[in-house]
Amino acid sequence: MRQLEALWNYSLRCAQAPAQLPACDSFWSWVAVAVVVASILIAFLIIRKMVKNFLEVRAEAIRIAQMKRVADDDTLALYKADTDKLFAVSPQEDVKDRIRQALDEKKLKDRWQRPGGTSGKKNG
């Protein structure tokens, strides 16, 4: 307790005395160290808060960009593919006849798309 009182008296005497007094060099050195440490801590807290805000803004921008890229639920429901119809083949329908009909349609289409004739055979 006496050391604390002595330190308090020393700091009061040095704070009132001019800074050039050689007996108070250690006091002013410790004051300078304390000011530098306090400044560093304050700067660290400010930078930390800035980085936190920057990351929150960045995350929000990414979230908004993701929402713009993906359609909302109503739009998705409007353009939803009906996958049940894709694989539905009725048992009455003959698959062989369907394939033959598709090939015949393709031949007919190719015949009309060839330049120089409608028959599909080469002139020779």
Cα separations in angstroms, 81 against 68, 71, 90, 120 = 21, 15, 20, 37
Mean pLDDT of 61-84: 82
| Domain count along the chain | 1
Does residue 105 lie within any of the structural domains? Answer: yes
Does residue 19 lie within any of the structural domains? Answer: no
78-110: pLDDT as tens digits: 887 777 666 666 655 677 788 888 899 888 888
Does residue 94 lie within any of the structural domains? Answer: yes
Task: State which residues form the domain around 99.
Answer: 83-113
Question: Dihedrals φ, ψ of 120, to 5°?
Answer: 90, -10
